[in-house]
């Protein structure tokens, strides 16, 4: 028999003469809260919905367990005590209250981005959630619970306390509690079956960014590079603090010294610009440690935001000097250098997007063409930064290479719609751009040179395939046209000038001539059929008629009158 601890409070709902049960209670805290969070809003970050669920759940629990807090008119606080516990559900009451306070705090954290006063309410709610978590732990320690429940209670309290101290910027205490929670959850994951390990391993990974952030604030300098690498994994609430913290660190590391770029001095660089240059020099190492392309894109986009802010700040610092039209001053050269960094990182980001699009099966060639258009525009802007012939040649060489890729994907898009002749012309143009770019390989990066060499073989294969398909489709079109003509309804007499086989002529009813023939319009019956009568010239017989000719000068009219019998008296 395990003795139950008596706190001196009387359980009104249970008679005192009933024996205490030696039941072993169990509460899978992390599993319960994770399932509830996923089903009630936190899958989409809706903390208000989860908070409402916790309130309804708490009301149902108190009603079922008969632990009300007063009646409809009056409120009387009534916490769960050791003497009340005779079911696992009693342990869920303080847990649900802690979750309700925590969800309200997370809701206030989002609203605090626009209303800074809610930060105080946020800390108050987190402090209440930590108090309910401690109450849950004390209750579990006093009743007969299994070892797993006790370990989960300790980890839950450590995590809640660490979250509160993290918001209060008590970095050392927060790191201690979060590390404790991480260790306990890690031990639980190793002791549980494989099917239940996933939730605990996920919680261990969630705690890692906060621990590194705390270590960095405490003074662990080895966490600087790790912070840059895990920036894409942090929540949105930590990104702003991380940016300001790293900017302050860079300014502390920077010294007022001159910076040279392409053989020319940029003058004394402001601390903020120096911090950006230091971050840019370390960015390549961080990108190499990042395994996924999406992670690299997140790092590059964050760096581009910093570049934009620093350029605006430097322009404001050298505002008077930049008004000088002479673009050979150190201030102008520094601005050009910072813009070059921004454009080169933008180009790198666009190429990473191209790699993702090429690896995706759903990506269209038109989308890749647009990305290469953006890359060419970046190179054009970079070539306009300096009046340096060698610098311009480098950018022109890169432009030729990326024009080849753009032309190749344009040909791919035309080939997808079976426009083979245009695709073949673009393949040939892409091959010409590739060969032009490879003529002087010293101007190109090694990665671009190897990509162009691989592109040559791809273009040759695609060109041959497009040519073959073009020939096949033309033959198919001619054959289809022949079949269409063969089935024509024209009779043979109307298509004697065409030479083709017509199997219908060998049948019993060949289409040779239309019988009866079609009607044709003809002129009406004329009055005189002798059409040459009006053109006849009669001989002159006046010398033979003598005087009779004068009397009979009626001529042709009289002859006609006498001929037809009319006109005579």
SS (H, E, C) 138-190: HHHHHCCECHHHHHHHHHHHHHHHHHHHHHCCCHHHHHHHHHHHHHHHHHHHH
**pLDDT reported for residue 124:** 92
Q: Pick from 414, 442, 470: which residue ends a domain?
A: 470
Q: Pick from 441, 470, 499: which residue ends a domain?
A: 470
Confidence of residue 281 (pLDDT cuts 50, 70, 90): confident
The number of domains in the chain is: 2
Least confident of 25-39, 248-262, 365-379, 416-430: 248-262
Instruction: Tell me the mean pLDDT in the region 23-29.
Output: 85
Q: Where are the beta strands (DSSP E) in 356-492?
A: none
Of 548 and 55, which is predicted with more confidence? 55
Instruction: Tell me the mean pLDDT in the region 272-278.
Output: 79
**pLDDT reported for residue 254:** 45
Residue 43 has pLDDT above 60, yes or no: yes
Least confident of 22-26, 42-46, 218-222: 218-222
Residue 2 has pLDDT above 50, yes or no: no
**pLDDT reported for residue 189:** 82
Residue 569 has pLDDT above 50, yes or no: no
Of 387 and 132, which is predicted with more confidence? 132
Backbone angles phi, psi at 145, to 5 degrees: -115, 155
| Pairwise CA distance, residues 401 & 430, whole Å | 9
Of 262 and 126, which is predicted with more confidence? 126
Q: Are residues 453 and 330 in the same domain?
A: yes
| Pairwise CA distance, residues 466 & 558, whole Å | 91
Q: Are residues 184 and 64 in the same domain?
A: yes
489-516 pLDDT tens trace = 788 888 888 777 777 888 888 888 888 8
Peptide bond into 356 cis (omega under 30): no
Task: Look at residues 164, 142, 173, 144 and name the one whose alpha carbon lies nearest to residue 8.
Answer: 142
CA distances for 489 relative to 289, 347, 478, angstroms: 74, 63, 19
**pLDDT reported for residue 159:** 92
Of 555 and 451, which is predicted with more confidence? 451
Q: Assign residue 333 the CATH number of its domain.
A: 1.25.40.280
The alpha carbon of 301 is separated from its chain's Cα centroid by a whole number of angstroms, namely 13
Confidence of residue 54 (pLDDT cuts 50, 70, 90): very high
Structural domain contains residue 553 = no
**pLDDT reported for residue 477:** 64
Confidence of residue 20 (pLDDT cuts 50, 70, 90): very low
Least confident of 250-259, 437-446, 479-488, 518-527: 250-259
Structural domain contains residue 234 = no
Q: Are residues 302 and 179 in the same domain?
A: no
Residue 122 has pLDDT above 50, yes or no: yes
**pLDDT reported for residue 162:** 92
Residue 425 has pLDDT above 70, yes or no: yes
What's the whole-number average pLDDT of the chain? 78
Q: Are residues 279 and 165 in the same domain?
A: no
Task: Look at residues 256, 237, 220, 293 and name the one whose alpha carbon lies nearest to residue 122.
Answer: 237
Structural domain contains residue 498 = no
**pLDDT reported for residue 528:** 56
Q: Are residues 196 and 278 in the same domain?
A: no
Confidence of residue 3 (pLDDT cuts 50, 70, 90): very low
CA atoms within 13 A on the CB side of 521: 1
Instruction: Tell me the mean pLDDT in the region 407-411.
Output: 88
Residue 471 has pLDDT above 90, yes or no: no
Confidence of residue 391 (pLDDT cuts 50, 70, 90): confident
Under 8 Å between Cβ of 401 and 459? no
Residue 10 has pLDDT above 70, yes or no: no
Structural domain contains residue 70 = yes
Instruction: Tell me the mean pLDDT in the region 341-358.
Output: 87
| Pairwise CA distance, residues 359 & 347, whole Å | 18
Of 442 and 105, which is predicted with more confidence? 105
Domain extent, residue 249, equals 241-255+271-470
Give the residue carrying structure tokens 């105080």.
120
**pLDDT reported for residue 49:** 92
The alpha carbon of 160 is separated from its chain's Cα centroid by a whole number of angstroms, namely 35
87-108 pLDDT tens trace = 888 888 899 999 999 999 999 9
Give the residue carrying structure tokens 């009158």.
561
**pLDDT reported for residue 201:** 87
Confidence of residue 525 (pLDDT cuts 50, 70, 90): low
Structural domain contains residue 557 = no
Q: Within a 10 A sphere around the Cβ of 566, how many other Cβ atoms?
A: 8
The percentage of residues in the chain with a pLDDT greater than 90, rounded to a whole number, is 8
Residues with Cβ within 8 Å of residue 385, at least 6 apart in sequence: 336, 339, 340, 343, 391
Under 8 Å between Cβ of 263 and 252? no
**pLDDT reported for residue 526:** 63
Q: Are residues 174 and 293 in the same domain?
A: no
Under 8 Å between Cβ of 227 and 305? no
219-250 pLDDT tens trace = 754 444 454 554 444 444 444 444 544 454 44
Q: Pick from 442, 470, 498: which residue ends a domain?
A: 470
Residue 271 has pLDDT above 70, yes or no: yes
Q: Are residues 123 and 65 in the same domain?
A: yes
Residue 4 has pLDDT above 50, yes or no: no
Q: Are residues 57 and 102 in the same domain?
A: yes
Structural domain contains residue 507 = no
Confidence of residue 160 (pLDDT cuts 50, 70, 90): very high
Q: Assign residue 99 the CATH number of its domain.
A: 1.10.3450.40
**pLDDT reported for residue 53:** 92
Confidence of residue 530 (pLDDT cuts 50, 70, 90): low
Q: Are residues 55 and 171 in the same domain?
A: yes
Q: Are residues 337 and 455 in the same domain?
A: yes
**pLDDT reported for residue 282:** 79
Confidence of residue 72 (pLDDT cuts 50, 70, 90): confident
> Does the CA dihedral 310-313-315-317 come out positive or negative?
negative
Task: Look at residues 18, 20, 14 and name the one whose alpha carbon lies nearest to residue 2.
Answer: 20
Q: Are residues 33 and 130 in the same domain?
A: yes
Structural domain contains residue 10 = no
Q: Are residues 206 and 251 in the same domain?
A: no
| Pairwise CA distance, residues 273 & 276, whole Å | 5
Residues with Cβ within 8 Å of residue 460, at least 6 apart in sequence: 431
Structural domain contains residue 526 = no
The percentage of residues in the chain with a pLDDT greater than 70, rounded to a whole number, is 79
């Amino acid at each position: 028999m395990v003795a139950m601890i008596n706190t001196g409070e009387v359980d009104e709902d249970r008679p005192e003469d009933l024996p205490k049960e030696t039941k072993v209670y169990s509460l899978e805290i992390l599993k319960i809260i994770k399932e509830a969070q996923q089903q009630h809003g936190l899958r989409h970050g809706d903390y208000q919905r989860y908070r409402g669920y916790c309130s309804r759940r708490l009301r149902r629990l108190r009603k079922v367990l008969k632990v009300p807090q007063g009646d409809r008119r009056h409120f009387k606080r009534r916490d769960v005590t050791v003497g009340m516990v005779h079911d696992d559900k009693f342990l869920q009451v303080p847990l649900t209250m802690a979750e309700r306070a925590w969800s309200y705090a997370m809701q206030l954290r989002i609203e605090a981005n626009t209303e800074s006063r809610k930060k105080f309410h946020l800390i108050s709610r987190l402090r209440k959630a930590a108090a309910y978590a401690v109450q849950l732990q004390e209750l579990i320690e006093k009743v007969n619970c299994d070892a797993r429940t006790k370990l989960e209670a300790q980890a839950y309290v450590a995590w809640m306390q660490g979250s509160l101290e993290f918001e209060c910027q008590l970095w050392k205490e927060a790191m201690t509690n979060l590390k404790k929670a991480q260790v306990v959850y890690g031990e639980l994951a190793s002791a549980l079956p494989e099917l239940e390990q996933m939730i605990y391993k996920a919680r261990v990974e969630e705690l890692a960014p906060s621990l590194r952030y705390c270590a960095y604030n405490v003074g662990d300098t080895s966490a600087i590079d790790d912070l840059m690498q895990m920036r894409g994994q942090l929540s949105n609430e930590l990104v702003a603090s991380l940016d300001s913290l790293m900017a302050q660190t860079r300014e502390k590391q920077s010294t007022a010294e001159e910076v040279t770029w392409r053989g020319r001095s940029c003058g004394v660089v402001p601390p903020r610009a120096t911090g950006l240059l230091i971050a840019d020099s370390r960015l390549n190492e961080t990108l190499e440690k990042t395994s996924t392309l999406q992670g690299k894109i997140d790092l590059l986009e964050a760096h581009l935001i910093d570049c934009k802010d620093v350029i605006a700040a430097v322009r404001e610092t050298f505002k008077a000097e930049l008004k000088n039209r002479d673009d050979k001053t150190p201030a102008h050269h520094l601005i050009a250098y910072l813009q070059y960094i921004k454009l080169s990182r933008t180009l790198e980001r666009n190429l990473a997007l191209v790699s993702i699009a090429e690896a995706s099966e759903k990506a269209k060639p038109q989308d890749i063409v647009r990305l290469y258009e953006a890359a060419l525009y970046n190179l054009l802007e970079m070539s306009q930064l300096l009046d340096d012939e060698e610098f311009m040649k480098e950018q022109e060489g890169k432009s030729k290479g990326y024009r080849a890729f753009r032309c190749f994907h344009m040909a791919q898009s035309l080939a997808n719609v079976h426009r083979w002749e245009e695709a073949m012309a673009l393949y040939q143009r892409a091959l010409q751009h590739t060969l032009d770019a490879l003529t002087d390989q010293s101007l190109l990066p090694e990665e671009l040179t190897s990509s162009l060499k691989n592109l040559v073989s791809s273009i040759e294969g695609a060109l041959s395939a497009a040519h073959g398909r073009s020939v096949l489709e033309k033959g198919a079109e001619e054959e289809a046209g022949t079949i269409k003509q063969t089935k024509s309804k024209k009779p043979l007499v109307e298509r004697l000038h065409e030479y083709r086989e017509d199997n219908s002529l060998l049948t019993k009813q060949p289409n040779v001539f239309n019988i009866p023939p079609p009607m044709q319009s003809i002129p009406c019956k004329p009055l005189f059929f002798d059409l040459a009568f009006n053109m006849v010239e009669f001989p002159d017989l006046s010398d033979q008629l003598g005087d009779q000719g004068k009397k009979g000068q009626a001529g042709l009219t009289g002859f006609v009158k006498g001929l037809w019998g009319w006109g005579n008296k």
